[in-house]
Structure 1
Amino acid sequence: MTGSERTKMAAGEWYSCLDPELEALRVVARDAVFEHNSLPPRQRGEIGPRLKPLLGGAGDGARIEAPFHCAYGFNIFLGDGVFLNAGCIILDTAIVRIGKRVLLGPNVQIYCAEHHKEAAGRQAGLEIAKPVEIGDSAWIGGTAIILGGVTIGKGAIVGAGAVVTRDVPANTTVVGNPARPVKRG
């Protein structure tokens, strides 16, 4: 592992989140998110003027309801017509790609960072970043949690409150903790 902590994070290697460069990037994101979350009611749902350019990409008609939180912003890519309902959290230490016309219910959480298994590693701030991809036209129910390294297929449905720990095939509905496919009668 050589290079900056940001370089290691982007490469999917173990890195220290206690790094000054990464903290400075999180401060920029917090400022943009604060502004977004403070928009007047008539602008709610629009992506704030400081948040939008921070994102990796935001397609036509993409909307983010306040409050919203992200770690960095630059790893988030939203397709056309994406809707993030109030309270969504995306800890984007890795790339998060959300396809076209995806709906995220209130308080959906996406966690790309996985902390070290050893206590000493956690105390040193060691994390590894794993990407998340959500296919076009998927629907993620309120309070669902999606862990890093997961791909959710096109047209899939994640039930409210589900904890998604592994890939979800296209056009499949999953529910529960951990999320499992619903059997069709």
Structure 2
Amino acid sequence: MLKTEKEKMLAGELYSGADLQLVGERLRARELCRAIAELSPQAPEAERSDLLKQLFGAATDAYITPPFFCDYGRNIELGKGVYFNFNCVLLDVAKISIGNHVLFGPAVQIYTASHPMDAAERRSGLEFAKPIAIGNDVWLGGGVIVCPGVTIGAGSVIGAGSVVLRDIPAGVFAAGNPCRVIRTL
């Protein structure tokens, strides 16, 4: 049996993002992100919780300071006590696993999505993704970009403006472009 484009996407294979099912799921996520952004700061917690449950597909105590953007929402797995500051972008084409008590500074960007390096293959419109994992008690400073396939170990701190291209071990301060370990915490 042939795989659907969504099955290919979630398996990390080349897939077409123009697939109607995927387009519909992205539109649904955009509408939910818009609804979250339009909530009054005094809105009842139950209303906010309901929108987050719809977006992520599970109940969460995460706090999101809008605006917040994601491709699908349902490919994001959130631990307890996660905080997103203003303007975070999560391209959750593949799974994004976020541990407990993770802090996202403003304008943090998490990218699982990627494109082929070969120009002819890129012109085909096909793309792929690699999952990202962020351990418990991680703090990502403002403007951090995490690239496809990266794992960030528990308790680490990523300095503002860093571009994380490779795995970062647990318990370190890392920063820069490309991001590298500066010291053990």
TM-score scaled to structure 2, two decimals?
0.92
Supply the distance in 2 between the matched residues of 1:126 and 1:137 (Cα, whole angstroms).
Answer: 35
1:57-76 to 2 correspondences below 5 Å: 57-59=58-60, 61-76=61-76
Q: Percent identity?
A: 47
Pairwise CA RMSD: 2.0
Letter of the 1:130 counterpart: K
Tell me the equivalent position of 2:174. Answer: 174
Instruction: For residue 47 of structure 1, report the CA deviation from its aligned partner.
Output: 4.4
Letter of the 1:175 counterpart: A
Question: Could you say what secondary structure the match of 1:155 adopts?
Answer: coil
Tell me the equivalent position of 1:55. Answer: 56
The one-character-per-residue Cα deviations of 1:50-86 (angstroms, maximum 9, x if unpaired) are: 3422314454x31111000000000011111000111
1:113-128 to 2 correspondences below 5 Å: 113-128=113-128
The runs of 5 or more residues in structure 2 that have no matched partner are none
1:22-61 to 2 correspondences below 5 Å: 22-43=22-43, 47=48, 49-59=50-60, 61=61
1:133-144 to 2 correspondences below 5 Å: 133-144=133-144
Question: Does the C-alpha gap of structure 1 residues 47 and 111 become closer, same or farther in structure 2, counting only changes over 3 Å?
Answer: farther
Alpha carbons 1:58, 1:78 under 8 Å: kept: no
Letter of the 2:36 counterpart: H
The one-character-per-residue Cα deviations of 1:87-137 (angstroms, maximum 9, x if unpaired) are: 000000011011000000000000001111122322322111111110000
Supply the distance in 2 between the matched residues of 1:52 and 1:153 (Cα, whole angstroms).
Answer: 26
Question: Does the C-alpha gap of structure 1 residues 18 and 120 become closer, same or farther in structure 2, counting only changes over 3 Å?
Answer: farther
Supply the distance in 1 between the matched residues of 2:183 and 2:155 (Cα, whole angstroms).
Answer: 17
